[in-house]
Amino acid sequence: MPYVVTQSCCADASCVVACPVNCIHPAPGEPGFGTAEMLFVDPKTCVDCGACTTACPVDALVPHTRLTEAQLPFMQLNADYYKDNPHSDRTPLALIPPKRLLRRTKAARIAIVGAGPSGMYLADELLKHGQLDVDVYDRLTTPYGLARYGVAPDHRATRGVTKVFQAIERVEGFDYQLGVRIGEDVTHEELAAHYHAVVYCTGASTGRKLDIPGEGLPGSITGPQFVAWYNGHPDVIEPPAGLLSGLASGRAVVIGNGNVALDIARLLTTDPEHLADTDISLSALEALRNSAIDEVVLLGRRGAVNAAFTLPELIGLAGVEDITVVVDGECGDDTPKTKLLAEMAARPPRGKRRIVFRFETTSAQIHGEDKVTGLEVTRGGVNETLDAGLVISSIGYRGSAVPGLPFDEVTGRMTNEDGRVAPGIYTAGWIKRGPSGFIGTNKGCAEQTAKLLLDDLDGGLLPEPKGSHKDIRKLIARRNGNVLDLAALRA
Ligand code: NAP
Nearest-atom number in ligand 1 for the CA of 396 is 26
How confident is the model over 154-201, as pLDDT tens digits? 999 999 999 999 999 999 999 999 999 999 999 999 999 999 999 999
β-pairing verdict for 206-207 and 40-41: unpaired
Residue nearest to atom 40 of ligand 1 (CA): 438
pLDDT of 356 over the 90 cut: yes
CA separation for the pair 105, 87 (Å, rounded): 41
User: In sequence order, what are the beta bridge partners of 377?
Assistant: 363, 384
How many other CB atoms sit within 10 Å of the CB of residue 89?
A: 5
- For ligand 1, whether the C-beta of 429 sits within 6 Å is no
Rounded to whole angstroms, the Cα distance separating 336 from 11 reads 20
pLDDT band at 432; cut points 50, 70, 90:
very high
pLDDT at residue number 30: 87
- Mean pLDDT, residues 347-363 taken together: 95
pLDDT digits (tens, 9 = 90+) for 191-213: 999 999 999 999 999 999 999 99
Q: Are 204 and 434 in contact (CB under 8 A)?
A: yes
Identity at 310, one-letter amino acid code: T
Query: What distance in angstroms lies between residue 14's CA and the mean position of ligand 1's atoms?
Result: 26
**pLDDT average, residue stretch 310-321:** 96
pLDDT for res 241: 65
- Beta-carbon count within 10 A of 232 CB: 19
What are the pLDDT digits (tens) for 78-129? 999 999 888 766 666 666 677 899 999 999 999 999 999 999 999 999 999 9
Ligand 1 centre and the CA of 233: distance in Å? 21
pLDDT at 322 over 70: yes
Does ligand 1 lie within 6 Å of residue 256's CB atom? yes
297 within 8 A of 254, measured Cβ to Cβ? yes
Helix or strand run (H / E) with residue 3: strand 3-5
For 326, counting Cβ atoms within 10 Å of its Cβ (0-12 exposed, 13-18 middle, 19+ buried), the class is middle
> Does 395 contact ligand 1 (Cβ within 6 A)?
yes
Q: Please tell me whether the peptide bond between 26 and the residue prior to it is cis, using omega within 30 degrees of 0.
A: yes
